[in-house]
Amino acid sequence: MHINRELKRLRWFLIAPALILFTCFTALPGVRALIYSFQKWDGFTEPEWVGLQNFQALLADDLFILALKNNVILMVAGGAITLCLALLFASTIHRGMRGAGVFRVAFFFPNILAAVAIAILWQQMYSTTDFGIINAIWMQIQQALPSVFLKKGEIPSPFPFTDSSHLIWSIVPMLIWTATGFYMVLFLAAMQSIPEEYYEAATIDGASPRQQFWHITFPLIREVFIVGIVFFIISSAKFFDAVWVMEAELPNKNSHVMTTVLYQKVFHEYNVGYAAAIAVVLFVLVFIATLITLNFSRKDTLEY
């Protein structure tokens, strides 16, 4: 179609608001953050330029490495179990069963709750005092099977799930609980685009359901699976709310994740440059992960 002046003007009119808002409040701050990361600033006094010093300090800092390690634990442990469970559930529902709709609706629900609400819920369930149901169940198990769980003369005692030293490991089940539904729906949709004939042909050839899964289903949704992996990596890099709430806003070196370190550096220690450096590192990680996913997903995202 031909472009006339009317169309040109309309185009600018249509794009302008989004462009202006986005540039002012997302793009420019992003660039600003990059600048901060090369400076040393406490927010009160004048900033000074220190080049790569913040990044060097970052890589040498135990706190950050520990926080990074915690993020990796979330990604790997959480991711592996979530994605496998999601795949498992999706494939079982995909084979067709009664109540599939109910399962889909129910499983997806935790994903849309506020992260804060989920964190508070799980914090209460993990409570070591009398009313945390997880510990209550654990105590019942201990009492029921003393020979297995209790050493001689020991009384059943609650397990400190929210202890800072292994808080991250306690968060992993919470993460799995929340995220599995989402990935299940994702994989299910992908599976539903696989033509039925493949399965019919395979059944005629005598393949078992397990073989069908590994040789038909999985290869055909491989791309979506990889999109899922990368999605998970990106969202666990940004993980903040749960740790913050469960640690009552004061994580210590064992329970930090990168984003909480960032917050602490700015608002507790007034070290803005360092925090910006963390943010830049986060961005680079997310960027790389997104590039990988763009590589693997459908090509027509970028094409016109």
Partner 1 sequence: MKYLTYILLSIWLLAVTIPLAWVGVNSLRSSKEIVENPFGVPWLVQGSPYQEEAGHPTPQESAQSNFQNAWVESNFSQYFLNSFIVTSISLIMILLFGAMAAYALSKIPSLGNKLIYLYFISGMMIPAQLTLVPLFFQYSYLSETLSAWTAPLGIEIQLHNSHTGLILIYIAFSLPFTILILTGFFKSLPNALRESAIIDGASEFTVFWRIMLPLARPGIISAAIFNFLGLWNEYLFALIFVNTPEKKTLPLGLSNVSIQAQYNTDFGLLFAGLVIVIVPTLITYLVLQRQLTKGITAGALKG
Partner 2 sequence: MSRAISHCILPTYVQSVYNTIMFRYVFSIFLSFSIILVLAFYSDAIHRINDTAQEIKVVEVAIFKGAFGIEWHQQMAEQFNRENKHRNIKIELWGDPKLANILKPRLLRGNPPDLILDERLPLWLLIAADKLLPLNAPLAEPALGFEQQKWADRYSPGMLNMFKSNGNVYAVPAAFGAWTCWYNASLYKAKGWEIPKTWDEYIDLCEKIKQSGMVPIALQGKNSYFYAWSTYITLVQRIGGVEAINRINALEPNSFSHPDALKAAQVFQNLVANYYQPGALAMTHTEAQLQFIQGNTAMIFCGVWLENEMRETIPADFELRSFDIPGSPEWKGNDKMVHGQGMEFLFVPKAAKHPGIAFEFARYLVSPQHAPGMSRSIGAISPLREVNSPENFSPAIASVVDIVNDSSGAFNVRPYMLFPAWKSQVMDAAIQDLCRGTLTPEEFARTLDDGIAHEVATAERAIPDAVLLNPSDYGELHAH
Q: How far is the CB of 147 from partner 1 (least distance, A)?
A: 25
- Among 90, 110, 225, 247, interactor with partner 1 by CB under 8 A: 110
Instruction: From the list partner 2, partner 1, none, pick the one residue 163 interacts with, judged by a Cβ distance below 5 to 8 Å according to partner type.
Output: partner 2
- Among 53, 146, 209, 292, interactor with partner 1 by CB under 8 A: 209
The yes or no reply on residue 301 touching partner 1 (CB under 8 A) is yes
Contact string (CB under 8 A) for partner 1, positions 122-141, x = contact: xxxx---xxxxx--x-----
Q: How far apart are CA 249 and CA 204, in angstroms?
A: 59
Instruction: From the list partner 2, partner 1, none, pick the one residue 69 interacts with, judged by a Cβ distance below 5 to 8 Å according to partner type.
Output: none
Closest CA to 77 of 152, 195, 162, 168: 168
Instruction: From the list partner 2, partner 1, none, pick the one residue 175 interacts with, judged by a Cβ distance below 5 to 8 Å according to partner type.
Output: none
Count the alpha carbons within 13 Å of 123 in the hemisphere toward its beta carbon.
Answer: 15
Q: How far is the CB of 241 from partner 1 (least distance, A)?
A: 5
- Can you give the binding site for partner 2, defined by CB under 8 A? 5-6, 9-10, 13, 17, 42-45, 62-63, 126-129, 157-165, 247-248, 250, 252-254, 264, 267-270
CA dihedral sign of residues 280, 182, 134, 72: negative
> Which is closer to partner 2, CB of 45 or CB of 301?
45
Give the footprint of partner 1 on residues 142-171 (CB under 8 A): none
> Which is closer to partner 2, CB of 245 or CB of 285?
245
Q: How far apart are CA 60 and CA 251, in angstroms?
A: 20
Q: How far apart are CA 221 and CA 94, in angstroms?
A: 13
Give the footprint of partner 1 on residues 44-83 (CB under 8 A): none
> Which is closer to partner 2, CB of 165 or CB of 192?
165
Instruction: From the list partner 1, partner 2, none, pick the one residue 11 interacts with, judged by a Cβ distance below 5 to 8 Å according to partner type.
Output: partner 1
- Among 70, 142, 180, 217, interactor with partner 1 by CB under 8 A: 180
Q: How far apart are CA 134 and CA 269, in angstroms?
A: 36
| DSSP letter, residue 213 | I
DSSP element (H, E) containing 119: helix 115-125
The yes or no reply on residue 280 touching partner 1 (CB under 8 A) is yes
Q: How far is the CB of 218 from partner 2 (least distance, A)?
A: 40
Listing DSSP states for 10-47 in one string gives HHHHHHHHHHHHHIIIIIHHHHHHHHHHTEE--SSS--
Q: How far is the CB of 238 from partner 2 (least distance, A)?
A: 21
Specify the residue for token string 């950050």.
Answer: 64
Contact region for partner 1 (CB under 8 A) — 58-66, 155-163, 211-219, 290-298?
Answer: 290-298
Coil vs helix vs strand at 130 = coil
Q: Where are the beta strands (DSSP E) in the chain?
A: 39-40, 48-49
What Rg, from alpha-carbon coordinates, does the chain have? Answer: 25
Number of residues that bind partner 1 (CB under 8 A): 99
Q: How far is the CB of 153 from partner 1 (least distance, A)?
A: 26
Closest CA to 168 of 61, 258, 62, 276: 258
Q: How far is the CB of 197 from partner 2 (least distance, A)?
A: 51
CB contact at 8 A, 242 and 120:
no
Specify the residue for token string 């020979």.
Answer: 147
